[in-house]
Amino acid sequence: MVELTSETPAIQNAPVSVNANAGEVMSIQTNKDIVDVDMHGPFTIYVCLFFIWSVLALVLFVRKITIYQSFIQYMKAGSTEVSDIKILNLLSDCEEKLNIKIRVELSYNPLIASPMIIGFFRPRIVLPAGGIEDKELSYIFLHELTHYKHRDMFYKWLIQIVVCAHWFNPFAYLLEKEVNKSCELSCDEKVISILGDKARREYGDMLLSFMKSDNLYKSSLASVTLTEGAEQLKERLGAIMNFKKKTKWWIFISLLLTAMLGCGFTVSGAYVANGNKQKNLDNATDTFSLYTNSAEIISFQKDEQTTTKEVAVRIKENDVKMQLNAAADGDSHRTLEVIDPTGEVVRTYTFDQDGFIAGDREWLYGNELIMVTDVLYPGTWYVRLSTNQTPAEKTTVSAKLIDPFVWGFASDTDIPSAEMEEEENADDSTLYARMYDYYRSYAQTKEDIQNGYIVNTGVSFNERAMPIVIGGEGTKFYVNHDNRIDLSITLKNLVDGTGHHYWAPLTDVSFVSFEVYDPEGKVAYSFYKEKEDIENEVDIDTELAVYPGEWQYKISFAYVTDGIEPSDMEIALRYQTIYEDDMQWLIDNKLHRND
C-alpha cells in the first residue's frame, strides 16, 4: 500500500495532487498559485518558445516539400523526352568530359524559363523549348552536369532545412542567397575551364538570353537552374569575363613562328596566315584595318616634334588579339597604350632602350617591345604612342592580328613575296637565335646569363595552347674553358593531341627534341620524345662535360596542352662554373645581338 504523507510539501505553493482514494485532500491550487508557479518554473517558457519555433519550422519545411512535389508533377506533365541523336550524343560527350558514369535523362519543357537539372538520384536535365545551338547546348550540359557532380541539389535542400530552422534569422536567407550564388559560380568556372577562353563571351551571352526569355515557370526549390536572378547574373558575367585574370600568375607564353625561308627549314605555327597583302589606311582619318602581317600604324620620324600620336584601329572580328611591335631609341621613354572602344586604357607599357619601366606581360627584345592584347571585340580601338622627348631616330609601331590561341607573340606569318624578300632582315642567324629564347624577356635573359645559363626556356600553360617550333639551324654558344654544364629537361602534362577532339599539331605527330652538338659537330646529348610518349612525365637532371670551342644546341617541339592541368616544358643548360668571358660572349651574342 502506498503511503501518503499529510505533511505540507517542502516547497511552498508547489502543486500537489488530490488523491480521492486516500481520502486526504491536500492544498487546492488557486489561480494565484498557478501564476506563481509559472514565474518560478523556467521550463515552461522555453517549452512554449520551442513549440512555436518547431511548428513554424515544420510548417515552412512541409510547405517547401509540397511546392517541390507540385512542381515536379507540373514538370512531368509538360515534358517530352529528347530523341534527337545529335543532342543525345552531345550530352554523352559532356558526360564523358566530366567523367560522369550515371545515365542522365534529357527532356524538353516549353513551360520553363531556363535549363535546369532535377532529381537527386536519377538526374534529368530539362531544356526550355526553342532552338538551341549546339555550342550553347554543350555549355548548358556541362553546367548542369557539374551541378550534379557537385551534388548541388543536396546542398540546396540542406540550406532549405537551415532556412526553415532559422526562419527568424535574417542571416539564414542571406546564406541561402550566397550558397545559391556560389553553386552557380563554381559551375560556371568548371565549364569555362573546360571550354576555354574563346567560349567565355558566348557563355555570357547565352546566360543573358535566358534571363530575357519570357517563359512561365521558374522554381529554385526543385531545380538547379542556369540563372538565378539578375543580380547574380551580373556577378556571374563579371566573373566569367575576369576569369583569365586569375591565372595571371602563371607564365603562359608561347611563340608560334611561321616562316618559310629557302634554307630547307620550316617552323610552323598553330594557325596559318591567310597571306593577305597589307592594307594600311582605310580612309583619310588614319583608321587602320589590320591583317595577319604587320602593318606600320604609327611612326615618328627622326627629330619630329610631336610627342604623342594616336591612331584608330578598326576591329571587325570577335576572336582576335592584336600584337604591337614598337621600338625605343636613344634615351627616350616610350609609352605604348591600347584603348578600347569605350575609351578605357586597357594596356599600357613604358620602356626605354634599356628595358622595361612599367607594365606587365610584354616582351622586350633588345630595344623592341612586343605587346599582345587580350582578345578583342569588334569596334574602333586606339593605339597611342608617347615619348618623353623628341625621337633621335625613326620610331615605328606596327600592328597585326593574331589568333586568340597564341599566348605569346608571332612573327610575321606571310609567305614572303619578291618585294618583301628584299626588305627581309639579311641577318638570318639573328632570327634563329631569337626563336629559342622566346620564353624569356630581355631582363630575364640578362639575369639568366648572369646566373650562368646558356639557355633557359620555360613555359607553362594554364589554357589550351599549341606551341610549335620545328627545325632551324641551332643556336651557337662559345665555351672558353673546360667546364661542366648542368642540363635539365622537364615535361609535364603535355598532350599528344592526335587522339582528342580538338586539333592535332600540323605535323600530325607530337614531339619534343633537344640536341647539343660539340665543336666537331657530333651529338653530345640528345633527347627525343614523340607521340603518346609526350604525355609521360620527364624530369631529367644531368650534366655534360664541355671543352673550349663552338658548341650548338637545337630545340624543336610540337605539342598541345589541354588546358585542364597546367602544362610544363623546361629545357635549360647552365655552366657549373661561371667564367667572365663565357658570360660576356653570351651577353654580346645573345643579349645584344640587335645592337
Partner 1 sequence: MAQQISESELVLMKIIWKNGGAALYSLIMEELEKDKNEWKNNTVLTLLFRLGEKKYLKVRKIGRRNEYVAVITEAEYQTMQMHSFLDKVYGGNVKNLVSTLLRQDILSVDELKEIESFWRKENE
Nearer to partner 1, 10 or 77 (CB): 77
Binding-residue pattern over the window 273 to 302 for partner 1, x denoting contact by CB under 8 A: ------------------------------
User: Coil, strand, or helix at residue 298?
Assistant: strand
Using alpha carbons, list the distances in angstroms from residue 483 to 168, 549, 577.
77, 11, 7
Q: Which has the closest alpha carbon to 566: 230, 193, 292?
A: 193
Nearer to partner 1, 104 or 555 (CB): 104
Closest approach of Cβ 83 to partner 1, in Å? 3
Q: Find the binding residues for partner 1 in span 106-125 (CB under 8 A).
A: 106
Exposure b/e, 39-54, CB count within 10 A at least 16 = b: eeeeeeeeeeeeeeee
Closest approach of Cβ 93 to partner 1, in Å? 7
Binding-residue pattern over the window 185 to 214 for partner 1, x denoting contact by CB under 8 A: ------------------------------
Which residue type is seen at 321?
A: K
Residue 563 burial (10 A CB sphere; 0-12, 13-18, 19+) = buried
Closest approach of Cβ 549 to partner 1, in Å? 59
Nearer to partner 1, 125 or 402 (CB): 125
Q: Which has the closest alpha carbon to 399: 288, 240, 262, 275?
A: 288
Closest approach of Cβ 108 to partner 1, in Å? 13
Nearer to partner 1, 95 or 337 (CB): 95
Closest approach of Cβ 213 to partner 1, in Å? 26
DSSP state of 29: P
Nearer to partner 1, 91 or 489 (CB): 91
Nearer to partner 1, 90 or 399 (CB): 90
Output the CA torsion sign for 558, 94, 96, 243: positive
Binding-residue pattern over the window 68 to 107 for partner 1, x denoting contact by CB under 8 A: -------------x-x-x--xx-xxx-xx------xxxx-
Closest approach of Cβ 95 to partner 1, in Å? 5
Nearer to partner 1, 96 or 537 (CB): 96
Nearer to partner 1, 92 or 266 (CB): 92
Grid coordinates 651529338 are at which residue? Answer: 523
Residues touching partner 1, count (CB under 8 A):
14
Looking from the CA of 11 toward its CB, the CA atoms found within 13 Å total 9
Binding-residue pattern over the window 31 to 70 for partner 1, x denoting contact by CB under 8 A: ----------------------------------------
Closest approach of Cβ 92 to partner 1, in Å? 3
Binding-residue pattern over the window 564 to 593 for partner 1, x denoting contact by CB under 8 A: ------------------------------
DSSP E strand stretches across 366-446:
368-372, 379-387, 395-402
Closest approach of Cβ 88 to partner 1, in Å? 4
Nearer to partner 1, 83 or 301 (CB): 83
How far is it, in rounded angstroms, from Cα 115 to Cα 138? 12
Looking from the CA of 329 toward its CB, the CA atoms found within 13 Å total 15
Task: Determine phi and psi for 75, rounding to 5 degrees.
Answer: -65, -50
286 neighbors 384 (Cβ within 8 angstroms) = no
CA angle at residue 454 from 453 to 458, to 5 degrees?
Answer: 70
Closest approach of Cβ 102 to partner 1, in Å? 9
The distance of Cα 267 from the centroid of its chain, to the nearest Å, equals 28
Which residues would be at the binding site for partner 1 (CB under 8 A)? 81, 83, 85, 88-89, 91-93, 95-96, 103-106
